[in-house]
Amino acid sequence: MAHVVVGLGNPGPEYRATRHNVGQRVLDLLAQMLGKSWRRDGQAMVARGQWRGEAVALVKPLAFMNVSGPVVGQTLRRQGADPADLILVYDDIDLPLGTVRVRMKGSHGGHNGVRSVIETLGIQEIRRVKVGIGRPDRKDEVSNHVLAPFEPEELPVVDAAVAAAAERVLALIQGP
């Protein structure tokens, strides 16, 4: 059974550099670390490999973030995996920029992509690696904030967080 690592984000080149797609940046780094390339598989881009003897499927849904749950469910079925094999990687507006946090379960915390996955799978016991993107000063700016690219001066912090998140994913795959 493979570990299925899903990077939440929005499809298309116009979203690639946005804050909301930082989870997919982590997966791009993991694919590079594993020496694997992306191939279309159903409604997702998938890169399959091994990490210290463990089978790994890296997955970037081709659905928009807020409706990615069905694609995650379909991908688990296609991989012959259970929700216990899933690791979600995504942005967290409630964490300061560059902070990386691992959670083994919990609510969606207001993140609509995570909400979609939880509703589809029917469980909250999902391993997660969250990457902080910071919160804007005003609530009405949230949508613009998550869909905006990082500022040039933020990129060194973001790159370090992406690397740290990739290491956390590999640690979860390796287990205790």
Cβ-proximal residues to 85 (8 Å cutoff; 6+ apart), any chain: 1, 2, 3, 4, 76, 79
Q: State how far Cα 11 lies from the chain centre.
A: 13
Q: State how far Cα 38 lies from the chain centre.
A: 15
Which one is catalytic: 20, 108, 111, 145? 20
Encoded amino acid at 35, one letter: G
Encoded amino acid at 75, one letter: T
Assess whether 20 carries a catalytic annotation: yes
Q: Supply the DSSP string of 61-128, one letter for each residue.
A: ESS-GGG-HHHHHHHHHHHT--GGGEEEEEEETTSPTT-EEEESS---TT-HHHHHHHHHHT-S--EE
How far, in Å, CA of 117 to CA of 47, rounded?
20
Helices (H) and strands (E) in the chain, counts: 5, 7
Q: What is the set of active-site residues? A: 20
